[in-house]
Amino acid sequence: ETGVTQSPTHLIKTRGQQVTLRCSSQSGHNTVSWYQQALGQGPQFIFQYYREEENGRGNFPPRFSGLQFPNYSSELNVNALELDDSALYLCASSSGTIGPASQYFGPGTRLTVL
Amino acid sequence: DQQVKQNSPSLSVQEGRISILNCDYTNSMFDYFLWYKKYPAEGPTFLISISSIKDKNEDGRFTVFLNKSAKHLSLHIVPSQPGDSAVYFCAATRGGADGLTFGKGTHLIIQP
């Protein structure tokens, strides 16, 4: 059973560019959540996808968008990058039938915006 | 507006002693609380959780206490071991598709 994987590990972009981050869920998991962790802060909930539909969203602007594919892998897209978007982006997968304790996190993608 | 607060950025404890990590929350709608442990270059790992209908949950060396009237929870680690050195995050949720609300974390250092 493979865990949650994310790619790329690190990424450097410039302000105004667009970025796509990828996440592969743990086997058997149909729910994916994305979090942003700025330096010195705890992770902040961006949104959650369940069976290819966004079913929950935190306090993030529309330029943060996502997709979930039939195999339950997921993408996070960020348009018009700003300096404050520099952070560690974490993906977590879970089975929709089990409570929040079942969320398994990937190692994250470190995004730097210059 | 931080709904989950961990007021101690770091905590140093001697090996074999008890580690107590604290967490306060403001949102009375939270009904599920979790502790995660994070090593550098890894994602958070689930440690232990507690439902709002309980006041204590134990799992081996780890015990979480919930005081709903004070909106306070704590994680006790007994005895503390060197491998426990990590950043510990407190998180809360209303459940469903709400996502987790995390505190800023406490860096626990176990001294030999």
pLDDT tens digits for range A21-46: 999 998 888 899 999 999 999 999 99
What are the b/e assignments for A19-42, b being 16+ CB within 10 Å? bebbbbbbeebbbbbbbbbeeeeb
- Over the stretch B56-89, which tens digit does the pLDDT of each residue have? 999 999 999 999 999 999 999 999 999 999 999 9
| Interface mutation target, options A103, A104, A109, A110, chain B, most CBs of B under 10 Å | A103
Q: Which residue from B minimizes the CA distance to A5?
A: B43
Whether A101 shows a pLDDT value over 80: the answer reads no
Whether A19 shows a pLDDT value over 90: the answer reads yes
Average confidence score pLDDT of chain A:
92
Does the distance separating the beta carbons of B104 and A55 come in below 8 Å?
Answer: no
Whether chain B has a CB inside 8 Å of the CB on A56: the answer is yes
SS (H, E, C) chain A: CCCCEEECCEEEECCCCCEEEEEECCCCCCEEEEEEECCCCCCEEEEEEECCEEEEECCCCCCEEEEECCCCCEEEEECCCCHHHCEEEEEEEECCCCCHHHCEECCCEEEEEC
Contacts of A36 in chain B (CB under 8 A): none
Alpha-carbon gap: A41 to the closest alpha carbon of chain B (Å): 5
> How confident is the model at residue A74, as a pLDDT?
96
Find tokens 């626990």 and name the residue: B108
Contact (CB, 8 A) for B32 and B53: no
CA B45, CA A8: separation in Å to the nearest integer?
20
| Interface mutation target, options B36, B49, B102, chain A, most CBs of A under 10 Å | B102
Find, among A91, A89, A75, the residue nearest to A26 by Cα: A91
> How confident is the model at residue B103, as a pLDDT?
97
- DSSP three-state, residue B9: coil
CA B101, CA A20: separation in Å to the nearest integer?
24
| Structure-token pair, residue A64 | 């943060």
CA A27, CA A6: separation in Å to the nearest integer?
14
Does the distance separating the beta carbons of A99 and B32 come in below 8 Å?
Answer: yes
Whether chain A has a CB inside 8 Å of the CB on B43: the answer is yes
> How confident is the model at residue B98, as a pLDDT?
84
CA A55, CA A20: separation in Å to the nearest integer?
20
Q: Which amino acid is at B92?
A: A
How far from B71 is each of A31, A54, B67, CA to CA, in Å? 29, 31, 6
| Structure-token pair, residue A35 | 């979090």
Does the distance separating the beta carbons of A90 and B43 come in below 8 Å?
Answer: yes
Contacts of B25 in chain A (CB under 8 A): none
Whether chain A has a CB inside 8 Å of the CB on B95: the answer is yes
Whether B37 shows a pLDDT value over 60: the answer reads yes
Whether A98 shows a pLDDT value over 80: the answer reads no
Contacts of A92 in chain B (CB under 8 A): 43
> How confident is the model at residue A72, as a pLDDT?
87
Whether A99 shows a pLDDT value over 70: the answer reads no
Q: Which amino acid is at A33?
A: S
Count Cβ–Cβ pairs < 8 Å, chain A vs chain B: 64
> Which residue from A45, A55, A104 is facing B101, i.e. has the nearest CB?
A45
